[in-house]
Amino acid sequence: MAVHSNKTPTPKKALEVVRELSHVLYWAGRTYLRKGAEDLQDKTFDEFLVLKVEQQASPASVEALDALKAERDAAEEAKKEVESELEALREQLAAIKAENEAVPETHDWNEDKTRKLIIGLALQRAGWPLDQPQDREYEVTGMPNKKGVG
């Protein structure tokens, strides 16, 4: 066995050990579970649940693991740099927005045209008939316009 020597157990021997371990675990559960021992009835070892050796990836060498660690560390460092750049850009954007908010708003927002060209079209595409006046305009509270319709 691998515990008593440097030899790797054969796949057949390893499967036998896992099978015996399943018996020990069954016995422990059957003997010591406070509730649920009845759930163990008719449970059997299914060797198809154990990965076959050819399905497993070969163990990585120390050099390969070190290379992966170096790649991960480099990626983390690059991520920190990108996050730092992103934070600087967010600060620039916030400053630009604050500066622009100080400029008085003089744009003529044509709500009626917007409603007809964009909102009305979207409602028609969604299947609204828009053949009644209340389909296009109805009174709402809390709107910033003076008419109180949206």
Mean pLDDT of 33-60: 74
Mean pLDDT of 124-130: 88
pLDDT in tens, 63-115: 889 999 999 999 999 999 999 999 999 999 999 999 998 888 888 778 878 88
- Could you tell me if residue 60 is left (phi over 0), alpha (psi between -120 and 50 degrees) or otherwise beta? beta
3-state secondary structure of 149: strand
Q: Above 50 in pLDDT, residue 148?
A: no
pLDDT (0 to 100) of residue 72: 95
What tokens does 16 get? 């036998």
pLDDT (0 to 100) of residue 52: 66
Mean pLDDT of 122-135: 84
Give the closest residue to 115 by CA, choosing from 87, 92, 138, 84: 138
